[in-house]
Amino acid sequence: MDLLIILTYVALAWAVFKIFRIPVNKWTVPTAALGGIVLISGLILLMNYNHPYTSLAQKAVIAIPVTPQVTGIVTEVTDKQNMRIKKGDMLFRLDQTLFKARVDRLNADLVTAIHNIQVLRGQLEESLANTSNVSAERDRLYKNYQRYLSGSKARVNPFSEQDIDDARQNYLAQDALVKGSVAEQRQIKSQLDSMVGGEQSQIVSLRAQLAEAQYNLDQTIIRAPSDGYVTQVLIRPGSFASSLPLRPVMIFIPEQKRQVIAQFRQNSLLRLTPGDEAEVVFNALPGQVFSAKLLRIIPVVSGGTYQAQGTLQSLTIDPGSDGVLAVVELDPDAAVDALPDGIFAQVAVYSDHFSHVSVMRKVLLRMTSWVHYLYLDH
Question: How does DSSP assign 237-294, residue by residue?
Answer: TT-EE---TT---EEEEE----EEEEEE-GGGGGG--TT-EEEEEETTSTT--EEEEE
Question: What is the radius of gyration, based on Cα positions, of the chain?
Answer: 44
DSSP 226: S
Most confident of 35-44, 154-163, 263-272: 263-272
- The runs of H, that is alpha helices, within 153-265 are 161-192, 201-218
End-to-end CA distance of the chain: 11
Classify domain 52-61+256-304+318-378 by CATH number. 2.40.30.170
Q: Which residue, among 193, 196, 221, 218, has the nearest Cα to 206 in the 3D structure?
A: 196
Rounded Cα gap, residues 63 and 139, in angstroms: 82
- Kindly report the backbone phi and psi dihedral angles of residue 189, in degrees, each rounded to the nearest multiple of 5, phi listed first: -65, -40
Q: Residue 197 pLDDT more than 50?
A: no
Mean pLDDT of 10-37: 81
Give the pLDDT confidence score for residue 320 in this predicted structure: 63
Q: Residue 196 pLDDT more than 50?
A: no
Q: Which CATH topology does 64-95+220-252 take?
A: OB fold (Dihydrolipoamide Acetyltransferase, E2P) (2.40.50)
Give the pLDDT confidence score for residue 155 in this predicted structure: 60
For all residues of the chain together, what is the average pLDDT? 83
Rounded Cα gap, residues 30 and 23, in angstroms: 12
Q: Which residue, among 346, 369, 361, has the nearest Cα to 271 in the 3D structure?
A: 361
Give the pLDDT confidence score for residue 2 in this predicted structure: 64
Cβ burial of 329 (10 Å; 0-12, 13-18, 19+) is middle
The residue type of 203 is: I
Mean pLDDT of 4-8: 74
> Where do the domains of the chain lie?
1-50, 52-61+256-304+318-378, 64-95+220-252, 98-215
Rounded Cα gap, residues 344 and 339, in angstroms: 10
The CA dihedral of 258, 264, 268, 269, to the nearest 10 degrees, is: 60
Give the pLDDT confidence score for residue 1 in this predicted structure: 57
- Encode pLDDT of 207-231 as tens digits: 899 999 999 999 999 999 999 999 8
Q: Which residue, among 127, 143, 119, has the nearest Cα to 177 in the 3D structure?
A: 127
SS3 232: coil
- Encode pLDDT of 109-135 as tens digits: 988 887 777 776 777 777 777 777 777
Mean pLDDT of 3-15: 78
Give the pLDDT confidence score for residue 262 in this predicted structure: 93
Rounded Cα gap, residues 290 and 366, in angstroms: 10
Strands 250-254, 64-66: parallel, antiparallel or unpaired by DSSP? Answer: antiparallel
- Encode pLDDT of 38-76 as tens digits: 887 887 888 888 899 999 999 988 889 999 999 999 999
The separation between CA 235 and the C-alpha centre of its own chain, rounded to angstroms, equals 21
Rounded Cα gap, residues 5 and 282, in angstroms: 21
